[in-house]
């Protein structure tokens, strides 16, 4: 297959990669927070603060990408695809931040094995988003990129199953209604992180199919 010519405006890919690195950092910090619920409130607050700082750094990259888009005549991908990709990547970190903030606002001091499983799946999704984004500059990587996108889809399905199992167990075993409501909300937010990763995977898949 002939390699498709793409304009040599590599700055966009640098920005995508920088943002994707922050997505992975945010996902890992969230997983640490979820796994570390027995830690002191100060320690948990520190994890949440790190996530806030990561999200702020990612926002700056998003704004820089959009500003560059307005100033660039020749873009390496369709202009709408560039805007949607950086926006949907930013959605992932927004959700990660939402989970951390909700855990603080709800004063959650214990979580279940299912919540930890969901946070681990979130990390796996984030890492694969980073891998797929890194392959975008070269459409000769199309098959490898599509394989990663399929893996993200599978992980999102795994998260659905874990959430449903967790909900079932929660409604059978949790006697404290307030605790039930809190944990249910965290399950749903964690699963939504994987949904946002799947959104990015679907967009990347479309970009690859159009350009390869």
Give pLDDT, residue 153: 98
Look at residue 55 and tell me whether its pLDDT is greater than 90.
yes
pLDDT value of residue 9: 62
The first and second tokens of residue 141, run together, are: 């990587």
In order, the DSSP letters of 176-198 are -HHHHHHHHHHHHHHHHHHHHHH
* 52: number of Cβ within 10 Å: 14
Whole-angstrom Cα Rg for the chain: 18
Is the pLDDT at 2 greater than 60? The verdict is no
Q: Tokens 């929660």 — which residue? A: 170
Question: Which domains are seen in the chain, by residue range?
Answer: 11-211 (1.20.58.220)
37 pLDDT exceeds 80? no
Number of Cβ atoms within 10 Å of the Cβ of 50: 18
pLDDT tens by residue, 145-203? 999 999 999 999 999 999 999 999 999 999 999 999 999 999 999 999 999 999 999 99
- Which distant-in-sequence residues (6+ apart) come within 8 Å of 57 by Cβ? 22
Residues 6 or more apart from 104 whose CB is under 8 A from it? Answer: 44, 45, 48
- The stretch 125-131 carries a mean pLDDT of 98
């Amino acid at each position: 297959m002939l390699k498709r010519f793409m304009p040599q405006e590599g700055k966009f890919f640098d920005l995508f990669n920088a943002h994707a690195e922050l997505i992975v950092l945010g996902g890992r910090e969230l997983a640490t927070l979820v796994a570390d619920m027995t830690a002191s409130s100060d320690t948990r607050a520190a994890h949440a603060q790190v996530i806030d700082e990561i999200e702020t750094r990612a926002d700056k990259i998003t704004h820089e990408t959009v500003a560059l888009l307005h100033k660039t005549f020749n873009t390496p991908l369709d202009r709408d695809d560039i805007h949607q990709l950086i926006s949907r990547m930013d959605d992932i970190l927004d959700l990660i931040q939402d989970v951390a903030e909700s855990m603080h606002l709800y004063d959650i001091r214990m979580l279940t094995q299912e919540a930890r499983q969901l946070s681990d799946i979130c990390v796996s999704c984030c890492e694969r988003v980073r891998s797929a984004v890194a392959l975008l500059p070269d459409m000769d990587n199309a098959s490898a990129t599509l394989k990663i996108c399929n893996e993200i889809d599978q992980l999102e399905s795994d998260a659905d199953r874990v959430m449903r199992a967790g909900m079932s167990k929660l409604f059978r075993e949790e006697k404290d209604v307030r605790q039930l409501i809190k944990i249910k909300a965290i399950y749903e937010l964690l699963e939504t992180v994987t949904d946002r990763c799947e959104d990015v995977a679907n967009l990347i898949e479309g970009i690859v199919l159009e350009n390869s």
